[in-house]
Amino acid sequence: MRYVYFPLNSVVYLLASMGGGRTVEVNLIGEEGMLGLRAVLGAKTSGKLAAVHIPGSCLRIKANVIQAQFKRCGGLHDRLLRYTRYLLCQISQTAACNRGHLVEQRLARWLLMVHDRAKKDEFPITHALLSDMLGTPRSEVTLAAGMFRKADIVRYVRGRITILNRRKLESTACQCYRIVSDELDHPI
Protein backbone atom coordinates (compact mmCIF):
# COMPACT_ATOMS: atom_id res chain seq x y z
CA MET A 1 0.00 0.00 0.00
CA ARG A 2 1.78 3.07 -1.25
CA TYR A 3 -1.10 5.49 -0.74
CA VAL A 4 -3.86 6.28 1.72
CA TYR A 5 -7.19 7.67 0.45
CA PHE A 6 -9.68 10.01 2.10
CA PRO A 7 -13.10 9.91 0.37
CA LEU A 8 -14.68 13.33 -0.04
CA ASN A 9 -17.97 12.51 -1.74
CA SER A 10 -17.61 8.86 -2.61
CA VAL A 11 -18.46 5.63 -0.80
CA VAL A 12 -15.92 2.80 -0.72
CA TYR A 13 -16.34 -0.64 0.79
CA LEU A 14 -13.94 -3.35 1.85
CA LEU A 15 -14.66 -6.98 1.08
CA ALA A 16 -13.45 -10.04 2.92
CA SER A 17 -13.04 -13.30 1.03
CA MET A 18 -15.25 -16.13 2.21
CA GLY A 19 -13.67 -18.76 -0.06
CA GLY A 20 -15.15 -20.27 -3.18
CA GLY A 21 -15.24 -16.85 -4.83
CA ARG A 22 -17.71 -15.43 -2.28
CA THR A 23 -17.09 -12.11 -0.59
CA VAL A 24 -18.89 -10.10 2.07
CA GLU A 25 -18.68 -6.42 2.93
CA VAL A 26 -16.89 -5.74 6.20
CA ASN A 27 -16.54 -1.96 6.14
CA LEU A 28 -18.18 1.05 4.49
CA ILE A 29 -16.06 4.18 4.17
CA GLY A 30 -17.25 7.70 3.40
CA GLU A 31 -16.03 11.14 4.37
CA GLU A 32 -15.86 10.03 8.01
CA GLY A 33 -12.89 7.79 7.33
CA MET A 34 -10.05 6.64 5.20
CA LEU A 35 -8.90 3.75 3.08
CA GLY A 36 -5.48 2.49 4.13
CA LEU A 37 -5.49 2.64 7.91
CA ARG A 38 -3.33 -0.50 7.93
CA ALA A 39 -0.66 1.45 6.02
CA VAL A 40 -0.66 4.16 8.69
CA LEU A 41 -0.14 1.43 11.28
CA GLY A 42 2.84 0.05 9.34
CA ALA A 43 1.36 -2.73 7.17
CA LYS A 44 2.69 -3.12 3.65
CA THR A 45 -0.39 -4.88 2.23
CA SER A 46 -4.12 -4.63 2.82
CA GLY A 47 -5.45 -8.18 2.70
CA LYS A 48 -8.89 -6.86 1.70
CA LEU A 49 -10.37 -5.87 -1.64
CA ALA A 50 -11.58 -2.28 -1.84
CA ALA A 51 -14.26 -1.25 -4.31
CA VAL A 52 -16.00 2.02 -5.03
CA HIS A 53 -19.73 1.90 -4.49
CA ILE A 54 -20.57 5.52 -5.21
CA PRO A 55 -18.01 7.26 -7.42
CA GLY A 56 -16.66 10.62 -6.40
CA SER A 57 -13.47 12.28 -5.29
CA CYS A 58 -10.82 11.23 -2.79
CA LEU A 59 -7.72 12.90 -1.44
CA ARG A 60 -4.61 10.76 -1.76
CA ILE A 61 -1.41 10.93 0.28
CA LYS A 62 1.68 8.75 0.27
CA ALA A 63 1.58 6.20 3.06
CA ASN A 64 5.06 7.06 4.33
CA VAL A 65 4.12 10.75 4.62
CA ILE A 66 1.01 10.07 6.69
CA GLN A 67 2.93 7.54 8.83
CA ALA A 68 5.44 10.25 9.72
CA GLN A 69 2.65 12.70 10.60
CA PHE A 70 0.87 10.07 12.66
CA LYS A 71 4.01 9.47 14.75
CA ARG A 72 4.14 13.17 15.70
CA CYS A 73 1.02 12.59 17.89
CA GLY A 74 -0.78 15.77 16.93
CA GLY A 75 -4.30 16.38 15.66
CA LEU A 76 -3.98 13.86 12.83
CA HIS A 77 -2.92 11.20 15.33
CA ASP A 78 -5.98 11.88 17.50
CA ARG A 79 -8.31 11.93 14.50
CA LEU A 80 -6.98 8.62 13.16
CA LEU A 81 -7.25 6.98 16.58
CA ARG A 82 -10.87 8.15 16.78
CA TYR A 83 -11.53 6.69 13.33
CA THR A 84 -9.83 3.44 14.38
CA ARG A 85 -12.17 3.19 17.36
CA TYR A 86 -15.15 3.86 15.07
CA LEU A 87 -13.90 1.29 12.54
CA LEU A 88 -13.56 -1.40 15.22
CA CYS A 89 -17.10 -0.63 16.38
CA GLN A 90 -18.46 -0.79 12.83
CA ILE A 91 -16.74 -4.07 11.97
CA SER A 92 -17.65 -5.85 15.21
CA GLN A 93 -21.24 -4.61 15.13
CA THR A 94 -21.61 -5.64 11.47
CA ALA A 95 -20.34 -9.13 12.33
CA ALA A 96 -22.85 -9.42 15.17
CA CYS A 97 -25.64 -7.98 13.03
CA ASN A 98 -24.98 -10.37 10.15
CA ARG A 99 -25.19 -13.29 12.56
CA GLY A 100 -28.15 -12.27 14.68
CA HIS A 101 -30.59 -10.08 12.77
CA LEU A 102 -33.16 -10.59 10.05
CA VAL A 103 -32.22 -9.76 6.48
CA GLU A 104 -34.77 -6.89 6.46
CA GLN A 105 -33.07 -5.29 9.48
CA ARG A 106 -29.61 -5.76 7.98
CA LEU A 107 -30.71 -4.36 4.63
CA ALA A 108 -32.21 -1.30 6.35
CA ARG A 109 -28.99 -0.79 8.35
CA TRP A 110 -26.84 -1.06 5.24
CA LEU A 111 -29.04 1.30 3.18
CA LEU A 112 -28.96 3.86 6.00
CA MET A 113 -25.17 3.67 6.20
CA VAL A 114 -24.84 4.22 2.45
CA HIS A 115 -27.44 7.00 2.56
CA ASP A 116 -25.45 8.76 5.31
CA ARG A 117 -22.27 8.62 3.26
CA ALA A 118 -23.75 9.33 -0.17
CA LYS A 119 -25.67 12.34 1.12
CA LYS A 120 -28.27 11.78 -1.57
CA ASP A 121 -31.48 9.79 -1.77
CA GLU A 122 -30.71 7.88 -4.97
CA PHE A 123 -27.68 5.71 -5.63
CA PRO A 124 -26.68 2.72 -7.78
CA ILE A 125 -27.25 -0.73 -6.31
CA THR A 126 -28.08 -4.18 -7.62
CA HIS A 127 -29.55 -7.15 -5.79
CA ALA A 128 -26.36 -9.08 -6.57
CA LEU A 129 -24.27 -6.40 -4.87
CA LEU A 130 -26.64 -6.28 -1.89
CA SER A 131 -26.32 -10.06 -1.61
CA ASP A 132 -22.53 -9.70 -1.43
CA MET A 133 -22.71 -6.80 1.01
CA LEU A 134 -25.05 -8.61 3.40
CA GLY A 135 -23.59 -12.09 2.92
CA THR A 136 -27.02 -13.50 2.20
CA PRO A 137 -28.59 -15.20 -0.83
CA ARG A 138 -29.88 -12.92 -3.56
CA SER A 139 -33.37 -14.40 -3.27
CA GLU A 140 -33.61 -13.20 0.36
CA VAL A 141 -32.43 -9.71 -0.63
CA THR A 142 -35.03 -9.61 -3.39
CA LEU A 143 -37.80 -10.49 -0.92
CA ALA A 144 -36.64 -7.90 1.62
CA ALA A 145 -36.28 -5.19 -1.04
CA GLY A 146 -39.76 -6.08 -2.33
CA MET A 147 -41.17 -5.58 1.17
CA PHE A 148 -39.49 -2.17 1.36
CA ARG A 149 -40.90 -1.22 -2.03
CA LYS A 150 -44.45 -2.26 -1.05
CA ALA A 151 -44.17 -0.25 2.17
CA ASP A 152 -43.07 2.84 0.15
CA ILE A 153 -39.74 2.92 1.94
CA VAL A 154 -37.68 2.66 -1.25
CA ARG A 155 -38.12 2.75 -5.01
CA TYR A 156 -36.02 0.35 -7.02
CA VAL A 157 -35.59 0.70 -10.78
CA ARG A 158 -32.90 -0.97 -12.91
CA GLY A 159 -29.96 -0.97 -10.55
CA ARG A 160 -30.86 2.31 -8.80
CA ILE A 161 -32.48 2.63 -5.42
CA THR A 162 -34.15 5.72 -4.01
CA ILE A 163 -34.80 6.18 -0.32
CA LEU A 164 -38.40 7.45 -0.09
CA ASN A 165 -38.97 7.34 3.66
CA ARG A 166 -35.88 7.44 5.85
CA ARG A 167 -37.95 7.43 9.06
CA LYS A 168 -39.55 4.10 8.11
CA LEU A 169 -36.16 2.73 7.10
CA GLU A 170 -34.73 3.71 10.51
CA SER A 171 -37.64 2.03 12.29
CA THR A 172 -37.01 -1.16 10.30
CA ALA A 173 -33.27 -1.24 11.02
CA CYS A 174 -31.91 -3.03 14.06
CA GLN A 175 -30.15 -1.17 16.85
CA CYS A 176 -26.80 -1.85 15.15
CA TYR A 177 -27.25 1.18 12.90
CA ARG A 178 -27.64 3.55 15.87
CA ILE A 179 -24.79 1.93 17.84
CA VAL A 180 -22.35 2.49 14.98
CA SER A 181 -23.66 5.97 14.13
CA ASP A 182 -23.42 7.08 17.76
CA GLU A 183 -19.77 6.04 17.88
CA LEU A 184 -18.90 8.89 15.52
CA ASP A 185 -20.39 11.37 18.00
CA HIS A 186 -18.17 10.28 20.91
CA PRO A 187 -15.22 12.60 21.59
CA ILE A 188 -11.68 11.29 21.53
pTM here? 0.86
Domain spans in the chain, listed from the N-terminal domain onward:
3-72, 98-184
Average pLDDT of span 166-182: 95
Helix (H, G, I), strand (E, B) or coil at 178: helix
Could you give the percent of the chain with pLDDT greater than 70? Answer: 98
What's the angle, vertex CA 2, arms to CA 91 and CA 25, rounded to 5?
A: 25
Cβ neighbour number for residue 75 with a 10 Å cutoff:
10
Residue 41 pLDDT? 83
> Which of 12-16, 20-24, 65-69, 152-156 is least confident?
20-24
CA–CA gap between residue 128 and residue 54 (Å, rounded) = 16
CATH of domain 98-184: 1.10.10.10
Residue 186 pLDDT? 67
Residue 43 pLDDT? 79
pLDDT at 163 over 60: yes
Residue 138 pLDDT? 92
Task: Please check whether residue 132 is in contact with residue 15, taking contact to mean a CB–CB distance below 8 angstroms.
Answer: yes
Task: Please check whether residue 135 is in contact with residue 98, taking contact to mean a CB–CB distance below 8 angstroms.
Answer: yes
